[in-house]
Amino acid sequence: MIYADYNATTPLGEGARTWIAQAFELWGNPSSSHRQGRKAMELLNKSREAIAELVGVTPTDIVFTSGGSEANHLALMGKALEVGKGFRILTSQVEHSSVKDLLPLIQKLGGEVDYISVNGQGQLSLSELEAKLKLFNPHLVSLMTANNETGVVFPIPDIAELCQKNSALFHTDAVQGLGKLDSAFYRSAHLVSISAHKIYGPKGVGALIIKKGTSLVATHYGGAQEIKRRGGTENILGIAGFAGAAQELMTSDSQTISPFIRDYFESTLQKNLEGIWVQGLKEPRIPNTSNIRFQGIPSEVLLGALDLEGIAISAGSACSSGSISPSHVLLNMGLNENEAKECVRFSWGKTSTLQAVEEVAQKVIAHVSRIRARNSTKVISN
């Protein structure tokens, strides 16, 4: 099997396995004051320190959550509930569904939402952001670090500076940035969402980094855990696994991935096929992601053909209630419904050798050529 869907999730790495195994014996409740509880608390503290070190923040800034989705929820709802009616949030049209799908609820609670547009490359304009900051005067700006579908990276340090200048709080969903970009790139935000399972840690655990001095109200109640910012007994096994993955990243040669594999893959396809377009090609992208439109090939057809070959990739569209709906990210980049349904995502990771990438490229070329010949597709040149 060749796995090329690392943006969806990653396998559990050695670092995570070792730390989780350690945690098996530490079954105490970290809030208990007896020895078992204190041992669990020690592991929790050690884990917090490892993750803080990876991101380059203070350990007490970290609030553990059930993943990136909950971290986004805490950032947005925590601020919306604190401000109450009249809360204003500025975001983009291409955010992850855990942000996008929360916005109608914020509006229902009396909040206002405004959007920054993206161009055909999936990039935003800083001058539009500056104008909107002045005109709309948002309490919170939420803009993702790197897009999960296209890999396009927003200019986070510039956005942070503009937000600072205009006294707006800045949240970034850095779930796809963690482990792929230097953490200095996104840690200038006041609030940063991260998730373990994109960096070879377990699923169901993540964190919201809340910088000192940033106030939010909790969205989970029940105990004083996480300095009252997220009630509920901590997921010690998951958190330890997250820390193990963080430590493994820090001790590996590089915390960022080389774009060599991705670039080799894209250029091989471009040399051998007409009628293909790489989304966001002209913009900075995370180094592991290629979102490619193959003219005349519905994404599910290519996905199915590759799946039969043992190759796992992802369609840039979500399957909801039995029908494939085109990706909101691609539609907002100006693709029409049919074009959006012809896009697939390849995302590479640790096990992606050049040999595996070459095999995927050759299989893609063969299937795309076969399907087009069968359907007599007239292909537009690139």
Max CA pair span of the chain: 73
With a CB cutoff of 8 Å and minimum separation 6, the contacts of 178 are 54, 55, 194, 195, 198, 199
Interface residues with ligand PLP (CB under 6 A) are 67-69, 96, 98, 144, 148, 173, 175-176, 195, 197, 206
| Sheet with 289-294, edge to edge strand ranges | 276-278, 289-294, 343-347, 314-315
Closer Cβ to ligand PLP, 16 or 364, answer by number: 16
Is 343 in the active site? no
| Closest residue to ligand PLP in the complex (CB) | 68
For the bound state, the minimum distance from the C-beta of residue 162 to ligand PLP, rounded and expressed in Å, comes to: 21
Closer Cβ to ligand PLP, 13 or 68, answer by number: 68
Residue of 125, 208, 205 lying closest to 162 (CA atoms): 125
E strand intervals along 212-317: 276-278, 289-294, 311-312, 314-315
Look at residue 145 and give its three-state secondary structure. coil
Which of 319, 354, 366, 380 does the annotation list as catalytic? 319
For the bound state, the minimum distance from the C-beta of residue 203 to ligand PLP, rounded and expressed in Å, comes to: 7
Closer Cβ to ligand PLP, 195 or 299, answer by number: 195
DSSP 140: E
8 A C-beta contact, residue 40 and residue 26 = yes
How far, in Å, are 69, 77, 92, 184, 224 from residue 115 at the CA level? 20, 17, 5, 26, 35
For the bound state, the minimum distance from the C-beta of residue 95 to ligand PLP, rounded and expressed in Å, comes to: 8
Closer Cβ to ligand PLP, 173 or 342, answer by number: 173
For the bound state, the minimum distance from the C-beta of residue 98 to ligand PLP, rounded and expressed in Å, comes to: 5
- At residue 292, what are phi and psi to the nearest 5 degrees? -125, 135
Strand partners, 289: 347
For the bound state, the minimum distance from the C-beta of residue 205 to ligand PLP, rounded and expressed in Å, comes to: 8
Residue of 76, 159, 162 lying closest to 124 (CA atoms): 159
Catalytic residue numbers, as ranges: 319
